[in-house]
């Protein structure tokens, strides 16, 4: 059973930065999603592993960057200029299709999920 493990969450003040990491398995398209209290889980960013294409939610464009470290087989989410509304549990997810070339924002396209890491941004 594939396990994804996120790390890097924490408590920061508004305007500060965090970097989340996810130990992946294989060369799949990967995504980050988040879920705030009393809200549905939502798409944050995705990376097409074979193409390098990226996709971002409008709310994080220009502030967040998704990338990969091939040597460590991990993906990361660099989060700058954090806002209190970014507070959520962040999940790493792996696309269900090993040959999918794009960066899908669709949650049901992902079938492997990490346990989540908490990000809290204080004002």
Cα→Cα distances 94→33, 40, 81, 82, Å: 11, 19, 26, 25
Q: Could you tell me whether strands 74-79 and 110-113 are parallel, antiparallel, or unpaired per DSSP bridges?
A: unpaired
Q: What is the pLDDT of residues 53-92, one digit of tens each?
A: 999 999 999 999 999 888 888 999 999 999 999 999 999 9
Over 90: is that where the pLDDT of 26 sits? no
CA angle 3, 6, 88 (to 5 degrees): 125
E strands within 1-123? 5-7, 10-13, 18-23, 30-35, 42-47, 54-56, 64-69, 74-79, 88-95, 110-113, 117-122
pLDDT of 25: 66
Say which residue, 71 or 31, is predicted with more confidence.
31
Q: Could you tell me whether strands 10-13 and 117-122 are parallel, antiparallel, or unpaired per DSSP bridges?
A: parallel
pLDDT of 24: 74
Cα→Cα distances 30→8, 14, 22, 38, 120, Å: 17, 27, 10, 25, 23
């Amino acid at each position: 059973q594939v396990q994804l493990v996120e790390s890097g969450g924490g408590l920061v003040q508004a305007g500060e930065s965090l970097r989340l990491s996810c130990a992946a398995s294989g060369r799949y398209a990967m995504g980050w999603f988040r879920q705030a209290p009393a809200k549905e889980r939502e798409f944050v960013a995705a990376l097409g592993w074979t193409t390098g294409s990226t996709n971002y939610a409008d709310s994080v464009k220009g502030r967040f960057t998704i990338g990969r470290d091939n040597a460590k087989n991990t993906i990361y989410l660099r989060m700058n200029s954090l806002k209190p509304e970014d507070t959520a549990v962040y999940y790493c997810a792996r696309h269900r299709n090993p040959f999918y070339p794009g960066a899908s924002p669709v949650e049901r396209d992902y079938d492997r999920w990490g346990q989540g890491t908490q990000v809290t941004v204080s004002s």
